[in-house]
Amino acid sequence: MEDGSIQGRMAPNVGSMLKIKNEYIRVALAESLCTFIMMVFGLGTVAQVVTGEGYFGEYLSINIGFGLAVAMGVHVGGKVSGAHMNAAVSFTMCVFGRLRWKMLPLYAFAQFLGSFLAAGTIFSLYYDAINHFCGGNLTVSGPKATAGIFATYPAPYISVYTGFFDQVAGTGLLLLCLMALSDQRNQPLVSGGEAVGVGLLVMLIGISMGSNSGYAINPTRDLGPRLFTLIAGWGTEVFRAGNCWWWVPLVAPFIGGVLGALIYKALVELHHPDLKNTTTRPAVDPECIPLDKCKNGRIEIPV
């Protein structure tokens, strides 16, 4: 009995020793992990479709796969980091005062790390399949190209200008809808339904706007895997392909995200009736969360 009592006391003590209490580290770990989950399932879907040559899925499989992957990512980190999983989302939250600027580098690095590690995981998992598909010749373009499993590239008929607009529009719609889904004075997602709602939104963007350039709409999602392919055997062509396409999914989503959120605020959110003029008034305006009330400068709505 005495030995059992000692063991029972030791278990909580070990847990307390391993528990990380620093909020910044907790946020970084959660954001890295939820991004990794999103990317490993998403890239895995693409790898299966490409290497399977149509036998193990098609384009719709990728849309569904990435949508479900985003939903799982939100479940993994939503209540800790907000599960942004996208540097354009984090940047937009900073612009509109929902995330402190000093947190942006932490979020961007965590998202980049999660994406990079996911690319490495899928490369290892599908190494034999990739080599069987392309005969060991890792190429960026052509009928046996495999670099597109990891990063996005434009269709042959797409100009850089059209591609830039494509990324601005796609990310703009993403942030516009995310702002609507989290607007407590409009038609927000029900509590607990955030993961499904955000996942469906990403799937919708893929189904409707994915054929031009693979709907990256996420700078860290694209850059991390692209850098991995650079060192994994595809070489510098990953940065030269598509008229040096690489910078478009890196820059355009930041512009699109801010524009999309701004449009929603200008046309909808700013025109909500004042709470003081309504018959019932909550104690705190649920729409306007003061920055000092956000724990470590973030809100607990996954966007």
**Residue 237 within any structural domain of the chain:** yes
Domains held by the chain: number: 1
The mean pLDDT value for 29-40 works out to 98
The mean pLDDT value for 5-13 works out to 58
**Residue 11 within any structural domain of the chain:** no
**Residue 288 within any structural domain of the chain:** no
The pLDDT tens digits for 144-163 are: 999 999 999 999 999 999 99
pLDDT of residue 279: 52
pLDDT of residue 143: 93
Whole domain around residue 215: which residue ranges?
22-268
**Residue 7 within any structural domain of the chain:** no
Instruction: Note the pTM of the prediction, 2 decimals.
Output: 0.86
pLDDT of residue 191: 87
The mean pLDDT value for 2-12 works out to 56
Amino acid present at 79:
K
Among 137-146, 198-207, 275-284, where is mean pLDDT lowest?
275-284
Cα–chain center distance at 235: 25
Handedness of CA 102, 222, 92, 79 (dihedral sign): negative
pLDDT of residue 4: 56
The mean pLDDT value for 246-261 works out to 98
Q: What percentage of the chain has pLDDT greater than the value 90?
A: 79
**Residue 290 within any structural domain of the chain:** no
Q: Is the pLDDT of residue 124 over 90?
A: yes
Q: Is the pLDDT of residue 141 over 90?
A: yes
**Residue 26 within any structural domain of the chain:** yes
pLDDT of residue 14: 72
**Residue 236 within any structural domain of the chain:** yes
The domain that holds 227 is classified in CATH as: 1.20.1080.10
**Residue 102 within any structural domain of the chain:** yes
